[in-house]
């Protein structure tokens, strides 16, 4: 009776492989599996030829071809990004085909906006690669909700290039300028519970519920967000302050305060009538 062949499963696709259809993972493949699929390969793990071919194809695609240039063209600065560098910052896996939080595939996923990715890095020190998609219910008021932050899986390090670094630095600069230019900022979650009750008469949770309920009838504008619009309305009801005083503490014009008050009042009216 001939000896029975030993079959080993591929660490990536779990396919049983024959001796001629497999290879042992090396250092480069281990880094690739960790960065791309959040798989921690061990010494002696097996990868099939098909998965290894995918790795080689992506590796060869990232290598820039060497092209001879003239002396004049060599003086022109390059416009492409340099190779990725490794940073000790947690990061999600890069994927466009499935949700980067719950790993759910489907056509109803949305691309995570740069503002949400910047807010996630600033608030939670987690980098989300550009182009990643997630389920719509993971995002609330321009931030990942608590459930999404609990379910998200990250690696210990990130691989970023020059383009991504410039993008996130510009976004952080814009966010800092906006936060310093606004005297009273309800978009900042660092406001305490007594501050919410004093200014709006609602707790932080109840205030978020009101904003979530009225988000169907209001929209973000360059001058004010939905959160700021609702805060202006509630502050005026709670304190009876004039539009001039509210425009000073929110750092907006009186016309913006007036439009915000009218917009929220109309949203409440539509919400009550529709129910």
Residue 74 pLDDT exceeds 50: no
pLDDT at 233: 93
Does residue 181 carry a pLDDT above 90?
no
Question: Could you tell me which residue, 4 or 228, shows the higher pLDDT?
Answer: 228
| Mean pLDDT calculated for residue range 136-144 | 86
Q: Name the band, by pLDDT with cuts 50, 70 and 90, for residue 64.
A: very low
Q: What is the mean pLDDT of residues 64-86?
A: 49
Assign 62 a pLDDT band (cuts: 50, 70, 90).
low
- Specify the DSSP element, H or E, that contains 133: strand 133-134
Opening angle at CA 45, ends 104 and 1, nearest 5: 115
Tell me the CA distances in angstroms from 206 to 69, 201, 210, 247, one per residue in order: 64, 10, 6, 24
Is the pLDDT at 169 greater than 60? The verdict is yes
Around Cβ 38, how many Cβ atoms within 10 Å? 15
HSE, side-chain direction, 13 A CA sphere, residue 273? 7
Stretch among 33-47, 165-179, 213-227, 232-246 having the lowest mean pLDDT = 165-179
Mean pLDDT over each residue of the chain, to the nearest integer: 80
Nearest to 125 by CA among 90, 168, 176, 157: 90
> Residue for token digits 């439009």?
259
Higher pLDDT, 168 or 84: 168
Which pLDDT belongs to residue 232? Answer: 92
- What sign does the CA torsion over 240, 206, 99, 8 have? positive
pLDDT of residue 234: 92
DSSP track, 25-71:
--HHHHHHHHHHH---PPTT-EEEHHHHHHHHHHHHHHSPPP----H
207-to-20, 28, 135, 225 alpha-carbon distances in Å: 63, 50, 24, 14
What percentage of the chain carries pLDDT values higher than 70?
84
Phi, psi of 6, rounded to the nearest 5 degrees: -90, 130
> Residue 79's pLDDT is what?
45
Q: pLDDT grade, residue 264 (50/70/90)?
A: very high
């Amino acid at each position: 009776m001939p000896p029975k062949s030993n079959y080993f499963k591929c660490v990536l696709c779990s396919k049983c492989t024959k001796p001629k259809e497999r290879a042992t993972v090396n250092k480069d493949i281990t880094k690739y599996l960790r960065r791309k699929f959040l798989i921690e390969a061990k010494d002696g793990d097996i990868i099939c030829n098909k998965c290894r071919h995918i790795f080689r194809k992506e590796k060869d695609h990232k290598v820039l071809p060497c092209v001879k240039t003239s002396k004049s063209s060599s003086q022109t600065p390059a416009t492409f990004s340099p190779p990725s560098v490794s940073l000790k910052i947690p990061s999600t896996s890069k994927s466009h085909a499935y949700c980067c939080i719950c790993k759910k595939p489907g056509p109803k996923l949305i691309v995570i906006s740069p503002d949400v990715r910047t807010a996630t890095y600033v608030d939670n020190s987690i980098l989300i690669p550009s182009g990643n998609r997630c389920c719509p219910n993971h995002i609330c008021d321009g931030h990942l909700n608590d459930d999404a932050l609990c379910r998200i899986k990250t690696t210990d390090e990130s691989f970023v290039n020059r383009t991504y670094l410039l993008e996130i630095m510009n976004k952080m600069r814009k966010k800092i300028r906006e936060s310093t230019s606004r005297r009273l900022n309800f978009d900042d979650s660092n406001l305490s519970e007594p501050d919410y009750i004093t200014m709006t008469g609602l707790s932080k949770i109840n205030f978020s519920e009101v904003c979530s309920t009225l988000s169907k009838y209001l929209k973000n504008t360059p001058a004010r967000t939905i959160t700021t619009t609702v805060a202006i309305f509630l502050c005026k009801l709670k304190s009876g302050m004039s539009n001039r005083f509210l425009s000073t503490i929110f750092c907006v014009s009186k016309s913006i305060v007036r439009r915000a008050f009218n917009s929220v009042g109309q949203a409440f009216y539509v919400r009550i009538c529709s129910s």
